[in-house]
Structure 1
């Protein structure tokens, strides 16, 4: 059985857009506390692995999990908890480069396989009005770093280097490569109920 361990609608939509329909979707509940002095790559790798380990598995199951963060230098930005924190994140990134990092983790045949994908972006210098307008949209909620590039923040980024789908939440090229390499069979069929 192919299990997707994620509550992210954006990630599921990305998979579905290329014809991958998990047989089961599981929302995991883990402690995502950042350890003192934890490096961004170590953090995102640990969290993706913990999400995967949190899923009940049977022999033959293939389980995909992922975690996405923003890193400004060594500072880790996860999902803001309130508008004030979202504003702090925008202030920190405004006019600067940052990285979006996603760790994908696949469980197959008793082993965990992981890969971290990094995309570099530069956010334009945002005016106070642009920040306020964005915060009022509430689009920052549930998004690593407090923005969604596929939404109202699309024009914030004059420079992007790397995987666009990584920024949305799941680097598709690398995810498919890992899944297929571990035996997942791509199909041209749609799930039951879809035409």
Structure 2
């Protein structure tokens, strides 16, 4: 299967922006109203962060390929991605509410954590995946810093309750790894998958 566009099965505007940055044509392949996408992100007891993010991404890809087929869409490669934040073996997903976001930020304050983003693509029966593993260090956050950031609304819907490309950047003192991976779609790894599956862009 050689195509000049892909289906992006993600609601993240950041992933769309990153694909556009490297000139990849895509069409959105979003879940139906009756699909429970959030349920796919449940953490299994004792699950390691890298295993978790790969498993969730594979489940999202399975659901997206089935969605493409169910809708009778023109066949094309399907791309899925998932990002998680981890401090040791503790996984930080999207905050449930403002209080949960403040808790996460207090725990990340003054410490270095991992950001893992898995990317998976399927074209026909061929499937490929990759994982980006980066480190992010936060300066110590004052209670007033946390309160102001949570009140901005930016932490909601973000793994670890922050967006590296947003206001949180003023509190990040060091990054090691892939900036685009921390944003939610590591472009180096994604480009490798696109090439491996014959996508022209």
Give the TM-score normalised by structure 1. Answer: 0.90
Ranges in structure 2 where 5+ consecutive residues have no aligned partner = none
> CA contact under 8 A between 1:29 and 1:54: conserved in structure 2?
no
Q: Distance in 1 between matches of 2:36 and 2:198?
A: 28
Distance apart, 1:142 and its partner CA? 0.8
Q: What are the within-5 Å matches in structure 2 for residues 118-133 of structure 1?
A: 118-133=133-148
Distance apart, 1:60 and its partner CA? 4.8
Alignment equivalent of 2:46, drawn from 37, 44, 53: 37
Matched, 1:173 2:178: no
Distance apart, 1:61 and its partner CA? 2.3
> CA contact under 8 A between 1:80 and 1:144: conserved in structure 2?
yes
Alignment equivalent of 2:11, drawn from 7, 10, 28: 7
2:126 aligns with 111
2:23 aligns with 19
Distance apart, 1:126 and its partner CA? 0.4
Secondary structure at 1:68's aligned position in 2? Answer: strand
Q: Distance in 2 between matches of 1:105 and 1:94?
A: 31
Ranges in structure 1 where 5+ consecutive residues have no aligned partner = 187-195
Structure number with higher relative contact order (C-alpha < 8 Å, ≥ 6 residues apart)? 2
Q: How many residue pairs are counted as aligned between the two chains?
A: 186
Distance apart, 1:17 and its partner CA? 1.9
> CA contact under 8 A between 1:3 and 1:26: conserved in structure 2?
no
Alignment equivalent of 2:59, drawn from 35, 50, 54: 50
> CA contact under 8 A between 1:149 and 1:168: conserved in structure 2?
yes
Q: Distance in 2 between matches of 1:129 and 1:8?
A: 28
Deviation per residue, 1:50-79 (Å, 9 max, x gap):
111002345852110000000000000011
Q: Distance in 2 between matches of 1:87 and 1:144?
A: 13
Distance apart, 1:25 and its partner CA? 2.9
Secondary structure at 2:82's aligned position in 1? Answer: strand
Q: Which has the higher helix share?
A: 2
CA RMSD of aligned residues (A): 1.5
Distance apart, 1:81 and its partner CA? 1.1
Q: Distance in 2 between matches of 1:17 and 1:2?
A: 15
**Greater Cα offset, 57-66 or 168-177:** 57-66
Q: Distance in 2 between matches of 1:139 and 1:169?
A: 15
